[in-house]
Structures are given as structure tokens and as C-alpha cells.
Structure 1
Amino acid sequence: MRRIIPVALSIAGFDPDSGAGVVADIRTFNSLGVYGVAVVTVVTAQNTYRGYAIQPLDPGIVVAQLRALREDIGFDAVKVGMVYTRELVEVISRELSDFEGPIVVDPLMKAKSGVELISEDALDALKNKLLHIATLVTPNKFEAEVLAETSIQTIEDAKRAAAIISREYGVEAVLVKGGHLKPCCIDILYFRGRYYEFWGKPSRGCYHGTGCILSSAITALLAKGYELVEAVKKAKKHVEYAIRYGPPIGRGWCPADPLAPLEIDAERYRVLTDIVEAVKMLEHASHLVSKYVPEVGMQVAMSLPARYASSPSDVAAIPGRIRADGCRLIYRLPPEFGVSSHLARAILTAMEFQPDIRAAINIAYSPEIIRAAEKLGYIVSYYDRREEPPELKRVEGATIPWGIRRAVERAGGKVPDIVYHLGDVGKEPMIVVFARSASEAASKLLRILWSIYG
């Protein structure tokens, strides 16, 4: 009977900064809808820029961990990472020799922090025993050079090395990771006599643990029943997300984040839900709010967290904006991402100064709103469109970022609660209410209106 949820096993070392090893593997399994279990082989003392110590576990406890899992939960696919000693390689190879599912071996030899991840005698055992039971081996350029005993400088070199590794060690599939190849970012898969090329683009981001994430993502997808070539393709895309959205922490190589796709989906839901709540709040006081709907319409917008926000497509708002019909607020569609331009750019600019200020509402300018906001203690600032440099006026979309920066400067470097401008030729005077969330922006606006109308 097929499991309700597939299970993948990581046999690897422990990295205390969670960027690599079993922690990164489990996070990757979970991010792809696979339940992760782990056998720890080695405990390391390292961080993002330096390695301090390595303590291999006794082979007996490693075997005990593995057998405990096999007799109870079981697993559908295995990823083997850091093994370090010959004794560990031998017992793991023996214990997995009768496993009928896919086994992915990531032949780790050296960490980005400089830590040596395998001893010399263990490398011989890896070549002669562990690789012979592997379904797929995933060496980087340098590891592939060691295994194939050949120099790799070009794509053709990588292809030749992959074929050598497959032939010499009886591995059905070899994926040579090409992050260090020229041209950059091509992975070469040799599988059943055929070559497959997986191209990527160089990108800024976090790279600690990317090898672990790639091999564990492939393992997870194989556990779910994907064919190997498709699993590699999807896993590479998963790693690209992890690199792009890795948290910029530590003094060295910051860790990639395999949970980023899940986190982004969750944040998108939270943003959309919060905008809906904010609009409901405004509708409940529509007899007040409708007085201040601009001729161009009112907008309620909110961005993804700063870590995930880089353009207006990462900001959600109401399609077509909100209009006033007498004392009613009307709009046609629920919030979507990428439908705001002006307010989205205002929010993204504010986030440059305070990343937690992620939302805004625009209303028509009114002196009474400004006076009431100041009386309530809100920080109020402004920009004058007449001061905008001519060269910026000629650039589409440059006015609002310039204006918000000017208002922040006038407020002493802090994002104001209220930013206004008095318009220009063909430009309606406007007020923007900033806040940490759309519902908080709505609360600020309603508080101001209630202070005016009681």
C-alpha cells in the first residue's frame, strides 16, 4: 500500500548553523511535501565562515539509528551526505545494500567554510562500496575531478567525467554540478547513456548548503515517484529559489533557504487576507471614508516581507482601485499581486528605510486630515513636486520614489505615518498613510477620521 505521505531519509552530518547537513535536508524534504527522517553520522563545530572541529559518531550508534527507522517508519528514498570515516562508509553501505528504493549519494569532500568532510581512507571506501549501491551521485566540479581522476574545465570535460564515474563505479546516474564551470551554472546529468543539460543563471544570494539542498530535493522528488530527469529539473529550480531568498545572516557564506517557496506562498496568503480585512474596515466606515476617495480612486496595498520583495509584482492591491458611489465604497475584484504601480513604488521605497513598513492607503489631500493626524501624534511629512529634478521628471515612475525619499529625509530618516503632496500640473494632491500592514493603515486612517467627526 502506498503511503499517504512519502518518507525520505537523510544520512549526514550535523551543521550547527543549519545551512547544510541533516537540518538542511529535513527542511528541504518538508518543503517538498515529504516527511523527513535522519541518521546523524558526524557532529561538526562550524559556522558560515570557519570550521572548528569534527566528531564522527560511533558506527554502532549510526547503525542503531538506521535500524530503528527501518523497523518502524521505513523510507522511500535515501540521501547520503557526510560520512567522513571508512568505518561509517562501510556500515552504511552494508545496511543499505538490500534497500530497493533510490539512493542519492552527495560525495562531500570539503565545506565552503574550509572543513574537510571526508578522510582519505573513507574516500577509498566511498569509491569501492558506497557508490556501487547508489542510484545517483551528485559531485561538484572538484569532487568529480577526484572521482574521475581527470581535470574538468569545460562542459565536455564534465560530460566525460560523468561517464567515467558511471562506468568505473557502476552508478546508473551521475550529476556533475557546474557552479564552478565556465560558462557558469550548467549541471550535467549522465543517465543511461544519455546526457542532459540543466542551465541556470548566476544570481546574487546565499549559497551555503546548496549542494545539500539539491541532492535532498532530488531525493524528496524521487520519494514522491518522479522520474529521475524530471526530479533533477525540479530540484534545480527549487535550489534557485533557495539561493535567491536565503537569509543574509552570518559573517561568511549565508545559508540558502529551501523553505522559501513555502514561506512565500504563506506570506502571499497573509497579505491578501490582510488587505481584505482592511477594505472591510473601510467599508464599515464608508460614510466617512467616501469623502476622501481621490478622483483617480483609492488604493489599499501591501507588500510581501522585505526579504521577498523586489518589484511592484511583489505588492498586492485592489485591481482598478476603490471608487466612491455616494456614501458607498465600490470595487470589482479582490486583491491581487502586481496590479498597483504608484502605491507599490511608494511602499517599496519606504521599505528601503524601514523594512517593516509594508503597507499604505492613499486618499485625497485635505488640510483637516493633516491637522488631525498631527494632533494625534502621527509623524507627518511631505514632498513638493516642484522641487523634483528635471532629469527625474523625464523618467517614468521616478517621481514617487524620489518624493518618498524626500519626505523621509524631512522626517529625520524615519518613515512618516503620513506623507502628502499638493499636486502639480495634471497631478491630484494626495495623502498616503503608511503602516506595517494594510489593516494597521486602515486603523490609522479611521482613527484620524473619527477624531474629526467624533
Structure 2
Amino acid sequence: MNLLSIGGSDPSSGAGIQSDIKTFYTLNVHGLTIITAITSQNTSSFGNVEPVSQKILKNQIESIMTDFKIDGIKIGMVYNSQIIKILSKQLQKLKIPIVVDPVIKSTTGGALIEKSAMIDFQKYIIPLATVITPNRFEAEILSKIKINSKKSLRSAAKKIQKMGAKNVVITGIETGSKGISDFIFEKNKECFISGDKINLSNHGSGCNYSAAVIFALAKNKTIKESLRFAQQFTQNSIKNARKIGKGIAVTDVQDYISKDLSDAIEKFVHIKNIYKNIPECQINFVYSKQKPKSPEDILGISGRIVKSGKEAIVAGELTYGGSKHVATALLTMNKKYPKIRSAINLKYQDKTILKIKKSKLCISSYDRTEEPKNVKNKGSTIEWGIKKAVKDSTKMPDVIYHKGDFGKEPMIIVFGETPEKVLKKILKII
């Protein structure tokens, strides 16, 4: 998939073109760029802007359009009327999703569009938008409506939509001391998507959000699905923000959870004779976010690790909510021991249990034949079993197993703080 980012260059790589490239790379798509302006800025201050010439802008557009199939476009900084009109002429006939991020001012205070260009921006750029993503400040500037109530919020969104945008999302609407919401205004419906407020001044979150939106839209997600994905992606980037300069923190879009789990899975499937440890129900390897609340907060394989001859292969992609059973076991363990965030299931074998007992790992178990009838009826066997095994152990278990029941396969689950630590335990017992 090829996604095109049109916008300004930020030498700090906190926002603009550079930020979008990082986001696209993290999301495993190819990022194309057209630079509209060169800025001099860092995490503390904003210097000058030098828009590119009309000639080089047209040349960039021609270079991209004549060579690549483009699946979606994000438009950020456009700066002046000349740039706006050239982009409009070149993009207006395209039949692909376009996200417009109406950047007006940088986090450090620099003007990202000339005041004289605002009318042309509304006339030529906003009508290109499948989705436009103003924050509250930008929505007030565009609509000339002070947003201080749900009614004024709706009025502002409606006014922006009348400028030609198909869908409007106004981001960062505070809903209390701990809450924040994005207001979605589609053609015939509206809603809020709520999230946790993160009190951290940062550089780059707006760019992360709009780049994530175009990614999801290009993947044929619905408007609501795309905006929900973008909100979660952006919240994670803010949580991972790092203070790399002397000023405000820069968001970090790198998904360390995905990278660490992916690396561990790659090592796992290449362990000699590991296929002998794959149960009939196959294997899932999972890794959770901090403080997971449900399996949707736990990264797992959408398929499984399966046996193919004498090899173990990964059938599926890493996705949050990709595991049910192993994720439920991890979630239950994490409630008691919050530092435990990774787990894997293995085939039950007596020889494996003997090796575990000979190692320095702590092992516990539960008997599925003792499962209360009401637990079985609710389908909460795993939660009950893990709780019982934890309760029966004098210290935190590294491994929990059961010997199955009628029609139920026996299983071993190995737990650890990270996928890498789970791997180290596995190497001790197989």
C-alpha cells in the first residue's frame, strides 16, 4: 500500500512530513511525500517558513502521480494560495480517500498558513476531504464559532461540512478532568469517541492522528472504525512521547509491543523441533499493553502458530484481540501480578512437566474436573483455573498447567514479563 503525505518539512521530525513517514513505516505501508514548505523549528521554538516554488511543487506532483498507485492522501501544511490552487487542480479528480489536517499554527506557535490563504483553503482544499480533522482551536478558526457547548460544537462541525468536507471530526474535546473525546459529524449521523486524557504537552500528535486516519480509510475501514483506530494509535504515541530536545516532548509512534512480540515469535518458530510442542488447538503467543482491561488490550496472532510437517509457521497477523484463551489467562494473571504481560500455550507432555519441576521455575496447576458447574455454564473456565492455580501457589507461577477434561485438551501456559523472558523460560523446559 502506498500513502501520500503532502505537507511541510519539520527538521525536528516531530511533525510534518517526517512524522508521517514514521507513522506509515510503523503501520507497514510505503510513505510517499510532496513537500510544500521548508520550516525551521525545533521542540522549543519556531523560526521561518520557506514555501517551495510552484515549479518544484508541480514537478513533485508529476513525479509521484506518473509512477505510483496511490491508495490514500493526507494533506497537512499548504501555507499559501499558490500551493493551495495547484494541489486542488491536481487532486480534485482523484477517487481515493483524502484526509485534510487543517494545520494553522504549530505547537511552538509558528504560523503554518498565511492569513490571506484561509479563504482559498476553505474553497479549494476542504472540498477534497473525505475526512477533515481539526482540533478545537482549528475548528473555531475555520467556522468562526466559539465552541463552548455541544450545540456550538455541532454548529461548528456542520459549518465546516458545508464548506465541502464529507466528514468532520473535531478532536480533543475535554469531557472532564480525565476524559477527552473526538466529535464525529458524518452526513446523516454524529457521535463521540471517548478516550483517556493524557496531560502531556507534545509535538506531533495531530500529525499522528491524521496519518493513522488515512491508513485506516485506505484499508477500507468505516469512518467510525478509522477514527477509533486513529485515536488509540495517537494516545499510544503520546504515552510513548520522549523528551529528545530542550523543549516539549515528541510523540513516538513506534509500537514496541508489536516489535517485541514479533521478534520473539520469529525466534520461537525457529527453535529446533519446536513443532513437537504444538498442541492440537495450536499456539498463540501474546503480549499486553500496560494495565490491560480486556483481551482487546492484548496483542496476539489472529490465526495461530501451527504445525506444518516438521516446521512451526505463523498463520495470521498480529492484532489486538487476536487471542481469546491465552489472552484471558494472561489477563487473569496480570490482575494479580501486573508485571506479567506475556504468555504462550504449549502442548502438555509429562516430560515437559518433569523438566519444569527440575528447573528453578515456579509451577502450579488446576484440575478441570473440579470446575464448578456455574463456572462451566458461564464459559469462564480459564479465568477460574488460573485464579485457582495462583491461589494455590506460594509465589508467582512461571508456568500453569492442567491435564484436561472430557473432550478438553490438556495444556501448559508459560508466563513472563515480556515475550523475550517467556522465550528464556521455554528454552529451559523443552
More strand by share: 2
Question: Residue 167 of structure 2 aligns with which residue?
Answer: 173
Shift, 1:244, TM fit:
1.0
Question: Residue 293 of structure 1 aligns with which residue?
Answer: none
Question: Residue 293 of structure 2 aligns with which residue?
Answer: none
Q: Distance in 1 between matches of 2:199 and 2:345?
A: 32
Amino acid of the structure 1 residue aligned with 2:19: A
Matched, 1:252 2:247: yes
Q: Deviations over 1:302-344 (max 9, x none)?
A: 9999xxxx9503477999xx987699549799xxxx99x9xxx
Q: 1:304 to 1:156 in 2, by over 3 A?
A: closer
Question: Residue 266 of structure 1 aligns with which residue?
Answer: 259
Question: Residue 33 of structure 1 aligns with which residue?
Answer: 28
Matched, 1:141 2:168: no
Q: Distance in 2 between matches of 1:205 and 1:277?
A: 41
Shift, 1:256, TM fit:
1.2
Shift, 1:141, TM fit:
0.7
Shift, 1:100, TM fit:
1.3
Q: Deviations over 1:273-313 (max 9, x none)?
A: 889999x9xxxxxxxxxxxxxxxxxxxxx9999xxxx9503
Q: Distance in 2 between matches of 1:89 and 1:205?
A: 33
Question: Residue 391 of structure 1 aligns with which residue?
Answer: none
Q: 1:277 to 1:139 in 2, by over 3 A?
A: same
Q: Distance in 2 between matches of 1:130 and 1:325?
A: 66
Amino acid of the structure 2 residue aligned with 1:132: P
Q: 1:326 to 1:132 in 2, by over 3 A?
A: closer
Question: Residue 313 of structure 1 aligns with which residue?
Answer: 340
Aligned match for 1:152, one of 144, 147, 150: 147
After TM superposition, the structure 1 = structure 2 runs for residues 321-360 of structure 1, keeping only pairs within 5 Å, are: 328-329=358-359
Using structure 2 for the length normalisation, give the TM-score: 0.64
Q: 1:47 to 1:303 in 2, by over 3 A?
A: same
Q: 1:304 to 1:228 in 2, by over 3 A?
A: closer
* Preserved contact between residue 177 and residue 187 of structure 1 (Cα < 8 Å): yes
Shift, 1:99, TM fit:
1.0
Shift, 1:25, TM fit:
1.1
Q: Distance in 2 between matches of 1:329 and 1:277?
A: 23
Q: Distance in 2 between matches of 1:76 and 1:325?
A: 52
After TM superposition, the structure 1 = structure 2 runs for residues 205-220 of structure 1, keeping only pairs within 5 Å, are: 207-220=202-215
**Equivalent residue pairs, number:** 319
Matched, 1:229 2:195: no
Matched, 1:16 2:11: yes
Name the Cα RMSD after superposition. 4.2
Larger radius of gyration, structure 1 or 2?
A: 1
Q: Distance in 1 between matches of 2:357 and 2:123?
A: 80
Shift, 1:39, TM fit:
0.3
Q: Distance in 2 between matches of 1:35 and 1:116?
A: 29
Aligned match for 1:80, one of 75, 84, 87: 75
Q: Distance in 1 between matches of 2:265 and 2:224?
A: 36
**Secondary structure class of the residue paired with 1:48:** coil
Aligned match for 1:121, one of 116, 120, 135: 116
Q: Distance in 2 between matches of 1:230 and 1:210?
A: 19
Q: 1:187 to 1:326 in 2, by over 3 A?
A: closer
Q: Distance in 1 between matches of 2:5 and 2:138?
A: 20
Amino acid of the structure 2 residue aligned with 1:76: D
Q: Distance in 2 between matches of 1:236 and 1:303?
A: 18
Q: Distance in 2 between matches of 1:240 and 1:318?
A: 30
Question: Residue 48 of structure 2 aligns with which residue?
Answer: 53
Aligned match for 1:99, one of 94, 101, 114: 94
**Secondary structure class of the residue paired with 1:200:** strand
Question: Residue 352 of structure 1 aligns with which residue?
Answer: none
Shift, 1:73, TM fit:
0.7
Amino acid of the structure 2 residue aligned with 1:137: I
Q: 1:331 to 1:92 in 2, by over 3 A?
A: same
Q: Deviations over 1:331-366 (max 9, x none)?
A: 799xxxx99x9xxxxxxxxxxxxxxxxxxx9xxxxx
* Preserved contact between residue 11 and residue 38 of structure 1 (Cα < 8 Å): yes
Using structure 1 for the length normalisation, give the TM-score: 0.60
**Secondary structure class of the residue paired with 2:241:** coil
Shift, 1:175, TM fit:
0.7
Q: Distance in 1 between matches of 2:102 and 2:219?
A: 23
* Preserved contact between residue 155 and residue 181 of structure 1 (Cα < 8 Å): no
Q: 1:325 to 1:33 in 2, by over 3 A?
A: closer
Q: 1:33 to 1:251 in 2, by over 3 A?
A: same
**Secondary structure class of the residue paired with 2:206:** helix
Amino acid of the structure 2 residue aligned with 1:264: I
**Secondary structure class of the residue paired with 1:312:** coil
Could you list the runs of 5+ residues in structure 1 that have no partner in the other structure? 1-5, 281-301, 342-360, 362-436, 443-454
Matched, 1:161 2:156: yes
Percent identity of the aligned residues?
Answer: 27
